[in-house]
Structure formats: C-alpha cells, structure tokens
Amino acid sequence: MAVLKEGGVPIGRFMIINKTDGLTKDDLIIEANGLYKILEKPDAFIIKNDECCRSIVIKVSKKD
C-alpha cells in the first residue's frame, strides 16, 4: 500500500490527487479524522473537507 498524499485540510479547502497510471476511485484508500467528500474530475480526484467547524487530517493510499 503506497501513500499518495497525507496532510491537514483546513475548513472549506481540498486535497488534489492526480490520476496517474490508470488510478481509479476504487484504488484509493482514504483515512480521515472527519467528514469529507470525493469529487472525480477527468484528471484528478478532489477530496474536500466536509466538516463545518474544523480542519481534518487526510491520508490517501493506493491499494496494491
């Protein structure tokens, strides 16, 4: 399991995961300490902080 990205996401902000090597939504393993939404764009996944009052920490890994 390879970590693609990890970090804090402030209120109303998002994390971008670029689609590389045929990456799909099913390949992602997302660990977060709060609520989030995933939006899929043609070239990237957008993981948005969906908490109303706090920042969250998100770790995105790829399934092997």
Domain boundaries, the chain: 2-62
Query: How far apart are the C-alpha atoms of 39 and 45, rounded to whole Å?
Result: 6
What share of the chain has pLDDT > 70, as a percent? 100
**What is the pLDDT of the chain when averaged over all its residues?**
95
The yes-or-no verdict on residue 61 having pLDDT over 90 is: yes
Confirm if 8 and 40 have CB atoms less than 8 A apart: no
**How do residues 33-49 score in pLDDT, each as one tens digit?**
999 999 999 999 999 99
Around Cβ 11, how many Cβ atoms within 10 Å?
Answer: 12
